[in-house]
Amino acid sequence: MKKIQFMPKFKKNLLPPPDKSILIRALITGGFFGKYLPPLVLSFDKKALLPLCEDVSSAILCLSQLNAELKTKKGQISVLPITQFDFEAPKTLNAGNSATVLRLVLGAAAAHNIPIEISGDASLNARSHQSTIEALEHIGANFEKPKKKRINQAINPNQNQIPIVLLKSETKISGKIFRPKSPSAQTKSAVLLASLTAKQKATIEEKIKTRDHTERLLSFLNLSNDLINNFDANQKNLPPNQKPPKPIILKIPPCISSSSFLIARALLTLNGRLKIKSVGLNETRAEFLNILKQSGFDISIKKTALFGHEQVGQIIAKGAKISKKEPKKYLPISINEQNIVSVIDEVPILAVMACFCEGKSVFSGLSALRNKESDRAEQIFNMLKSFGARVSLDGDTLEIVGNKAIKGLQKGAHFIASKDCPVVSSSDHRIVMAGAVFGSVVENGCNILNPEAIKVSYPNFFKDMGLN
């Protein structure tokens, strides 16, 4: 258990960890398709590298289990790709807690017709991966069908066979049109990677745009069906004594989702201030900044550069100033089926922010949150309730009434929650971090039962928050 105490000050310049969504995609793409590319080097600020979060470590483990090599030193990971694809028996892989790793590895393995058995921890195994399996089957992948349990196998509550078994396919992957039944960047990415070895790439027709890191990565690397299909012929035509190509160096920006908790901490602190440089500002990931600005929170954004094909920039977040006048009031927050895809990882911290907004905030369309690392909709409700917030959960709609049970003050504690010290009992990393932010800005603080959960995405979170 970790005790989180109220902290009246928060003025920092911070460097959150590398964006794991981009980094995992780059690792898997480099590991499975690196033979078609110059050497790939992934680069980031030296201070942000160690320790690696558990999800990135899971990607590295899966690649190493397929005999890829990754050389890590301060500020860089060099990817030496898989060289053998003709495995007869399925290779056993462990994706840990990461659905991104599991689903993208399925797609990349399908591209090369590599048989694999893949599973993860209890949380990942309990999640449904059926939409990814069906999407890959649609373009020609061959999965073992659920049947009687083997000794090392179980059928989870979501009807997955665990481990998921990708078999060799007698037919080649085809670049068909894929129309997702529900928005999923991970399933889309799995299809894009799987179809790279097809005669033509798959066409994705999304009703709601999801994060596009995979598309940007493939474009930056110039990795295409034409390149792969003509690779062997082009290699034969190279002149003798051809100089080896220069490495491709891809900078990985600090993670915008990890930054959201730090930003919230600054905004909820009287005279708080946070500055983050070169953070990822991909338009499919930064919607929560727009939502908070619309509510009246003080956030300034300056675009500064491109890392690969990813926009990066500077964020400065400022809390309300101490004043003898009425406390700063913020407008309620609205989340719905149209914008939730762009803030899927920030909903827990946005729910915390809603507790400090005037009036009723409504978060609807939360069905996707029920298939995350936990039933995240239920976990958010329980966490806010423990702090004394006025919150209700009806189906997939969460309603939060701010500034009632939680009142703004001009001196001392910025906000007061319940009289008792709340307990955050979740093992979901984003619920833990959201609860820690809440505890740090209320008088009685809180207790975190599973502080180690942060290692999944942000190992230095408590240190950066000043909550050691």
pLDDT tens figures, 134-156: 999 999 999 998 765 544 444 44
Residues 370 and 231 in one domain: no
Residues 240 and 378 in one domain: no
Q: Which of 183, 218, 251 is the last residue of a domain?
A: 251
b/e sequence 163-182, b meaning 16+ C-beta within 10 Å: bbbbeebeeebebeebebee
Helix 185-194 to helix 130-138 angle, to the nearest 10 degrees? Answer: 30
Residues 308 and 357 in one domain: yes
Which percentage of the chain shows pLDDT scores above 70? 91
Task: Examine the pLDDT at 371 and tell me if it is beyond 80.
Answer: no
Residues 246 and 339 in one domain: no
Residues 10 and 55 in one domain: no
The whole-number pLDDT of residue 131 equals 93
Q: Domains in the chain: how many in total?
A: 2
Residues 122 and 146 in one domain: yes
DSSP state of 148: S
Residues 264 and 234 in one domain: no
63-73 mean pLDDT: 91
Q: Which of 197, 229, 251 is the last residue of a domain?
A: 251
- What whole-number distance in Å separates Cα of residue 170 and Cα of residue 185? 28
Q: Which pTM was predicted? A: 0.93
pLDDT tens figures, 209-259: 999 999 999 999 999 999 999 988 887 777 777 788 899 999 999 999 999
Task: Examine the pLDDT at 103 and tell me if it is beyond 90.
Answer: yes
pLDDT tens figures, 432-443: 999 999 999 988
State the burial class of residue 232 (Cβ atoms within 10 Å of its Cβ: 0-12, 13-18, 19+): exposed
3-state secondary structure at position 133 = helix
Residues 185 and 327 in one domain: no
180-186 mean pLDDT: 92
pLDDT tens figures, 409-461: 333 344 544 556 788 888 999 999 999 999 999 888 899 999 999 999 999 99
Residues 228 and 342 in one domain: no
Q: Which of 207, 226, 251 is the last residue of a domain?
A: 251
Residues 414 and 356 in one domain: yes
pLDDT tens figures, 39-63: 999 998 876 656 789 999 999 999 9
Task: Examine the pLDDT at 467 and tell me if it is beyond 60.
Answer: yes
Is there a contact between 155 and 146 (Cβ–Cβ < 8 Å)? Answer: yes
Task: Examine the pLDDT at 265 and tell me if it is beyond 90.
Answer: yes
Residues 184 and 258 in one domain: no
Task: Examine the pLDDT at 406 and tell me if it is beyond 90.
Answer: no
The whole-number pLDDT of residue 124 equals 93
Task: Examine the pLDDT at 344 and tell me if it is beyond 80.
Answer: yes
Average predicted confidence (pLDDT) for the chain? 89
User: What CATH number corresponds to the domain at position 294?
Assistant: 3.65.10.10
pLDDT tens figures, 3-28: 999 888 999 999 999 999 999 999 99
The whole-number pLDDT of residue 147 equals 63
Phi, psi of 378 (to 5 degrees): -65, -40
The domain of 109 spans 20-251
Residues 197 and 283 in one domain: no
The whole-number pLDDT of residue 50 equals 62
